Amino acid sequence: MLLNVFKSGIFQWQFRRQLLVSLSATLITFCHGIALGWLSPMLPKLLSPQETPLTFSIDVNEASWLGAIISLGGISGNFSFSYVMNRFGRKVAIYALAVPNTCIWFLFYFAQSIEWLYVARVCAGLTGGGMFVVLPIFIGEIADNSIRGRLCSFFTLTMNTGIMVGFIVSSHIAYHVIPCAVVGLPVLYVFLATRYPEPPQQLMRWKRDEEAEKSLRFYRRCDGPNVSKEAERAYQKQLDEMRLAIQEQNKDSNDNGLSMSDFLTKRALKALATGLVLMIANIFTGTFAFNNYMSNIFDAVHTQLDPNTNTIIIGAVQILGTLASIYLVDRYGRKILLIVSCAGSGIGTSAFGLYAFYAEEQKVDLSAFSAWLPVTLMAFIIFIANVGVISVTMVVLVEILPQKIRAVATSFCLGSLSFFAFVSLKTFPLMMFHLGLAATMWFCGTVSVICLFYVVVCVEETKGRSMYD
């Protein structure tokens, strides 16, 4: 079966360049994932005056700001990189993503006070906010319709792989060694970005038709001396479809420009509402906060395993969930994965909340279960979330928005995502402290159920939809 997957899927010869370019572009998400995963095992050390690797320690309020402030950078990154992408092109925005990511590691290394770490986390937010705008659109533009979902899911796969690496290195490697080891990756990312062209759609918008044709040939592997007639026909069909769509878009822009009325059509309003609900599901089902405070969560339920070991196990499960999503998303569609994911997240967080209620608040002796049940429940939550809510959200967002408003509407939705992430990261440790872990988990379960209802009733299947609709 695995051999058939390689022969019939994204590893086919004609798709190989799209795969390699997508992996090259998502190297920055791997770097960003390391920066995200760094926090969870490092936070308990920074909170302890005896264990801190720096010349200072922090308190609970500073820890909540350290977790949440990344989202302020995320909001800035959403809108600034959207402007750069639309004004100067996808490639310039891709190069620019390396700048704040590189700054993170210098700030971590030379940190003299908590303010240095705050700025580093803001830089991480700028990278993350920019990535969520630029890379799904870039990959969506270069990918064939039949494999777009899988290639866009690499965005989540590489980030989750980075998060797991961040969990591991932050748990077991000396603080000042980590920045030295990671800082070269953004440089490699920039070098790889010089090896592939601007997407053909952007070149055609700039009326550079000859370069657009070369770019499309590059991504469709039709630029060699021995191009088959079938491949040439498919290339010409895609080129004509693209040219017609861009001409219609330019005509609309020249006649009317982008106006508020474009956002008030029935299709646009429904797409924006769906985008916002998916952003809420992505954040308030809890997975993003869990990744940042994983060690604290396991410490709260008194698991017998070392909290950092549990955190690393969860990092591996995230990768498995994303791999499952990559396998399933273009076979069974987006909607069914979102339904399964929302339902599973609701069940998992409710069950974890029940365990936390008895372990943390009722002081029931659960030592017979503490070695395996908490990590099993959390692994289920993380796995099922990454199958749908985490991995598929960005794919659906790019596909569901009308082309004319796609760039601006994507920035709006992702700006909302960053705001929701800020609220989640700032309030999660405070909710754990004041309300208890059980109530916090049950809140996440309630959000999952509400989002499940919306997905079942209102979300359309977007599998195979053209990017020019």
- At 252 the pLDDT is 59
Residue closest to 297 by CA, chosen among 287, 35, 165: 287
Q: pLDDT tens per residue, the chain (469 residues)? A: 444 444 456 777 778 889 999 999 999 999 999 999 898 888 888 988 888 999 999 888 888 888 888 888 988 898 899 889 988 999 999 999 999 999 999 999 999 999 999 999 999 999 998 998 899 889 988 988 788 878 888 888 899 899 889 989 998 899 999 999 999 999 999 999 999 999 998 999 888 989 998 998 898 887 766 767 777 788 888 888 888 878 777 665 555 566 788 788 888 899 999 999 999 999 998 888 887 787 778 888 877 777 777 778 888 898 999 889 888 888 888 899 999 999 999 999 999 999 888 887 767 777 777 778 888 999 999 999 989 898 888 888 888 888 778 878 888 888 888 889 888 888 888 888 888 889 999 999 999 999 999 999 998 888 877 666 5
- At 461 the pLDDT is 86
Query: Quick check: helix, strand or coil at residue 49?
Result: coil
Please state the pTM of the whole predicted model.
0.80
Task: Name 60's Cβ contacts closer than 8 Å, sequence gap at least 6.
Answer: 47, 429, 433
- At 353 the pLDDT is 92
- At 462 the pLDDT is 80
Looking at this protein, which amino acid is placed at residue 118?
Answer: Y
- At 344 the pLDDT is 95
Cα angle value 327/331/336 (rounded, 5°): 95
Rounded distance, CA 110 to CA 451, Å? 43
Domains 12-196 and 265-468 are alike in CATH topology:
yes
Q: How many other C-beta atoms are found inside a 10 Å radius of the C-beta of residue 404?
A: 18
CB–CB of 41/170 below 8 Å? Answer: yes
Residue closest to 400 by CA, chosen among 245, 267, 279: 267
Helix (H) or strand (E) holding 310: helix 307-332
The pLDDT mean for the chain works out to 86
Question: DSSP H helical segments within 9-147, as ranges?
Answer: 16-25, 27-47, 60-68, 70-88, 90-96, 98-110, 114-142
- At 445 the pLDDT is 94
Rounded distance, CA 382 to CA 442, Å? 16
Looking at this protein, which amino acid is placed at residue 40?
Answer: S
Cα angle value 229/230/231 (rounded, 5°): 90
- At 3 the pLDDT is 43
Query: Quick check: helix, strand or coil at residue 435?
Result: coil
Residue closest to 328 by CA, chosen among 463, 460, 465: 463
Residue extents of the structural domains in the chain: 12-196, 265-468
CA 158 remoteness from chain centre? 9
CATH top-level class for 12-196?
A: mainly alpha
Query: Quick check: helix, strand or coil at residue 145?
Result: coil
Residue with structure tokens 């770019």? 215
CB–CB of 231/222 below 8 Å? Answer: yes
- At 13 the pLDDT is 76
Q: Which DSSP string do the residues of 68-105 spell out, in sequence order?
A: HTHHHHHHHHHHHHHHHHHHH-HHHHHHHTHHHHHHHH
User: For the chain, how many helices (H) and strands (E)?
Assistant: 23, 0
Rounded distance, CA 374 to CA 362, Å? 16
Q: Which DSSP string do the residues of 171-238 spell out, in sequence order?
A: HHS-TTHHHHHHTHHHHHHHHHHTTSPPPHHHHHHTT-HHHHHHHHHHHHT--SS---HHHHHHHHHH
CA 155 remoteness from chain centre? 6
Q: What is 265-468's CATH number? A: 1.20.1250.20
Helix (H) or strand (E) holding 370: none
- At 428 the pLDDT is 87
